[in-house]
Structure 1
Amino acid sequence: MGTLRDLVGSTMVDRDSAYVRRMRFHQGWWRAFVLNEEQGPRSGRPAETVCNALPSIPKALGNFLSEAAQAAALKTVEERKSQGGAGLMDVSRLFGNLLSSQPLAFNFFGEFTDGAGSLALATAIFSQFVALDEVTKVCFEFAPGKPSGDNSAYDAAIEYTLNGKKGLVGIECKFTDSFSAEPYDKESYQKLYDASQTFDAAYEMLMAPRFNQLFRNQLLAEGFLKNADYNMVHTWLFCHPMDNAGKNTGDAFEQFIRGNAQTSFQVVTYDRFIAAAQQLDLSWKQREWTMLLWARYCATALSDEAFVEQSASA
């Protein structure tokens, strides 16, 4: 039998930050000891393998924690194929990369697409973060009508009602991926910015690479509000509690947003979301889902022994 390091597999990328290196290893541990899978091909270098990749034909659910998450992912892929629509989906990352934020979005929010009872669960969880009466629908890669004039889309979107009005929570999911470094600019951005009372910073500041992606997400909200698609649109950065770079960027961006009843921005971490769910009176299936989320994404203590061995021999 090989060492724990051998079983987890190759961690490969030497330019990883300490945070990304730890997350990559934990996903390799998950692949080896939970999924019982061999490591798969490295993106862009298929002749090489890496610990956080699944084989071309993974067993069972592979990258998804439940049948509901997998079904939501498959449905979204088919919708993108048939409708074109905003939002970009890399199918190889969705099904084969354990570090990708795309399957993460379905693992956290796809559970709310499994019938009326799951919407009641969504209502109970999201009402702890946003004022609402009822969650009515959960969508992915969401930007109908492209209201900001580009291909930006929310990774997940929660439609809800409040006092008879229609609202939306637009969610940007991050795991180990960084924010887009390219400062995209369009005439439609400037028009939405000029018409808005939301932003408390100069356009040039918001267009900077550090904030550009979050700014474009907020412009989606401004477009939805301008078009009267929704009465309220609140945006989230959904990230790991150990992702200090992501949280710091989100916290800084929040200072540029004049939050009110109609729109706001907030950083929500995985652990806060899981804790909000776990304090509810859950069915055993629902509680098991929260525990799997915790184990897959937050419980690095489970892979500590293997990681220490790997680090000592590196």
Structure 2
Amino acid sequence: MTAGREDYARSGVDVEAGYEAVRRMAASVARTRTAGVLSELGGFGGAFALPSGLREPVLVSGTDGVGTKLKLAFLTGRHDTVGIDCVAMCVNDILCSGARPLFFLDYIAVGKNVPERVAAVVSGVAEGCVQAGCALIGGETAEMPGFYDPDEYDLAGFAVGVAERSEMLDRSRVRAGDVLIALPSSGLHSNGFSLVRKVFDVERRDLDAAVPELGTSLGDALLTPTRIYARPVAALLREAPVRSLAHITGGGFHENIPRSLPDGLTARIDRKALRVPPIFGLLQREGRLDEDAMFRIFNMGVGMTAAVAPEDADAAVRVLHRNGVEAYPIGTVVPGTEGVVLC
């Protein structure tokens, strides 16, 4: 090790560990390569060629992180799923504009660069990109001793997609009488974990213990990755007229569904139609949370909603079923200013 590297190492930054992390993540990144990728891992910038055949291409971008769900990864030592969450939170957002994901970049900030751990995180990011059909074309791993605990890290990223301008989704197309279709979530996804961790007291609880109600351990249930809807939504947009999409993230039903509706229209949700996974019931009971709070914080088993004309609803559900999503109607669009009404 040179004198300069020794000085840097004494400050807490291990340059060699950084090189090793890049070597370990190379195979994961290679899995995500698509035809548009023009650059190699390790360059100063990721280059991507826009797909041909678009008359008026529009780039759509989204950025997000995993939030305090990362604390569950630290507690369990499982680091290979949170990368999927990171990709999902970004990609699912840009789908709501009708965009097709093209590429993704991640940012990992660590207190101590442990190559095996960083590689595990990136393997999850790569898996998310494979599920989304996009390329992981770059990223950054920043070792920040004294800023982060040596055993902790933060993870964020951003996705870029493309849409034909004339085919972009616009909430102004939604009409009273339209049907709202639920695309089921895989569980809690990546929202509300500050409350989740407090309710379940995760730092003092045996996260590996089986919970019969869940059919798995609490740790496994909480770390279930956010579902990525890119491929089924792409099929839906090709085969059925869709008026708008909503990604149900932080803020639950009440914040997100109204973002897909024009002013003067309200989502009327049939509470009894919802297929709510057991983790939500357990969370509500242990946290003594009322129903309003649950719907204002969590996705309640609905990861996305699609608004379609009544005559297109059956076809939309069939398309989603063929593409692995057990979609079902949960309500209608009605005149009103409440945003969301649960009936």
> TM-score when scaled to structure 1?
0.26
More strand, by proportion:
2
The structure showing larger relative contact order (alpha-carbon pairs under 8 Å, at least 6 residues apart) is 2
Mark the structure with the bigger radius of gyration. Answer: 2
> TM-score when scaled to structure 2?
0.25
More helix, by proportion:
1
